[in-house]
Structure 1
Amino acid sequence: MDTLVSGFFDSASVTTSMPFLFYSKSSSVRCRGAKSVLECPLTDPTFSRKLDDLFNREKAQGVDNPIVVGAIPFDLAQPCHLMVPQWFTFQSAPPFDMSQFNDTGFKHRVRAHQFVPNHDVFIQCVEQALTRFDDTDLKKVVLSRLLELELDKDVDLTRLMGNVMAQNPNAYHFNIPVKGGVMIGASPELLIRKKDERVYSNPLAGSAKRQDDQALDGAAADALWQSKKDQYEHRLVVDSIRSAISGYVSDLRIPEEPSLVNTPTMWHLSTQIEGCVKESATNTFDLIKAIHPTPAMGGTPTQHAKQAIDEIEPHDRHFFSGLVGWADSKGNGEWAIAIRCAEVNGAFVRLFAGAGVVPDSNPENEWIETGNKMRTMLNAFGIKRDAL
């Protein structure tokens, strides 16, 4: 893939000096340092054994309940990046209103930028996907695009993380050292959380841009709720998770209809799913392998959608639309979907956004939707709306 600068991200380097942060209302964890790193695909038959080896090594050193933290790629056949931290602590979510700490003086100018793919190619990609609905049993495919930026100065990661949290206080916040940089973001979507026997998931599908005017914003939310296209897209996701998780989870509680939730930039259709694992030995990685990618990130049926993405998208997503989070040796953990985020390396930034394509999708609307979704991180960088 062509980039703004050759060697945009150095895949050979790992930024281990940065702290790992994962903040949620249920299980916030802070870590520093990496004793060891597990880079093995979740689908590799040796993954569970290698993970157990790491945990057993930590227990032998006196750690009662060791953890791993990190990122899992969109394609589970690619290596994950899981670290055993040198130091970690769990803490409660801040009891104060984080929005008051919005750093309005944190601003960047864009020296150069490019979309991958560009507008015309993205439109062609969506049109190509639409033709597949007539010839196959494909019902939905998620197509994405990247925005690569060269900024006027190196990014202060501490200030950026503060701004991400302040501007999106109800999200899953994360700061994760990965190969070639740091992933920072505020995901609105929980793939899976396991706490003892209880399991939770919160898929989002169906989106609309927030409006500055209160009346127009209410109308946008109502239009999303009334949209047959978005309701159909959301139901595909919920039904897929129900089917995927039923082998592991009983007593499933799934509302008949979604609810409306919002971030500072978007409205979403949301469904809260809850259940109880059938077997106590089930861990979060078992559930991830059963569920991911959901139709919200890939499409449905899963294999047909994955094939379409591989053949249509001109870029590799790597960790974008994969997962970020943590897991412990007792099988507990929390993993959010890696969206509304950025990869940062000095003054170079890469953003990602995707949109669900279904039979009645409009290609231009999908381009606009992906642009709207990037606004979360552009705001956090202090990049003006007219900068691109």
Structure 2
Amino acid sequence: MSGETVRKKLTIGYDETEYVCGKNAIEAENDEGTFIVSETISNIYPEKIKRFSEGKIIFVEDGENSKRIDNYEEVCRILMEREVERNSYLTYIGGGTIGDLSGFIASTYKRGLRLKAIPTTLLSQIDSSIGGKNGINFSGVKNAIGTFRNPERIVADTDFLMKNDQIIREGMAEIIKHGFSMDYTIIETLLNNDMESVKNGDILRDLIVKNADIKASVCNQDPYELLGRRYVLNFGHTVAHGIEAISRNSITHGAAVIYGIMYEMKMSEIYGMMKYDGISIMNKLMKRYGINKIEVSDEMLDGSLSYIMNDKKIRNGKITIPMATKPGMTNMAELKIEVFKELFLKAGRMM
């Protein structure tokens, strides 16, 4: 899904949900399909959910717990009972975990339902709803079973972002990642604004479009994650995924990514690749947007390093990670495991 394609599939605006999905949608199909809805979103925005036909909704809990295999089986059972046909629409309304579950169901139930996405967090609007990856957890491993399934339509309804600034802060992690690794104008935009100006003008919409384009353009080069082109999207994520796993997801993805970006910047600096003070700029952004730095103990770092040693990017005793070089640029570094461990431990002592 290229940047051009995602713009055709992406609808952005305040309360756009009303016009795209539901009984009164201006582009309604003969069969509006089935809706998998986050229980949290249903409780916070009951007036939106009432727009959908009651008998078409399946409510699902939020978080990684929703991605259990028994939950997948339960939703498929409901679809069977309702005699949902192949090629019917399945629309999800929720964050990234709801999208992971729904995408996997859409790609496997009767070998294919048509997928629509209404991601309700900034993180999911610019990241997880784009690129097609989905999955459920199995045997204690996150996304151990999954496929690729791109939505036919993505609706980024900014109304979902307005009640809680923390939802924007969480998504800001991926925006900042794109800025430091691929497009420094994003960082300049963030430095020239603050939370209020981002929320109350066109800046938020522009950021969603730009970051969705970046994610889609990268994924289009490597749609099934076979060529290593998506590795650039992992900037900050090698460390972040370890932190998330060891904390058993008590540390959110956004908070872990912010920490991971700073940690991997320090590793790049030690390795001699980073030629500017990116960490100082990170600190300015965090202060400007009220993003708190998490506290990570030595024990957590040790556990994270052990987790990283099973990373899928490890091949033949080497791990490939994006390293910061210049503002808006990263280079891929293929490091021997011993070198990676040394950099990781040195950075940990300096954080």
Give the TM-score normalised by structure 2: 0.29
More helix by share: 2
More strand by share: 1
Q: Which protein, 1 or 2, shows the higher relative CO under an 8 Å CA cutoff with sep ≥ 6?
A: 1
Give the TM-score normalised by structure 1: 0.26
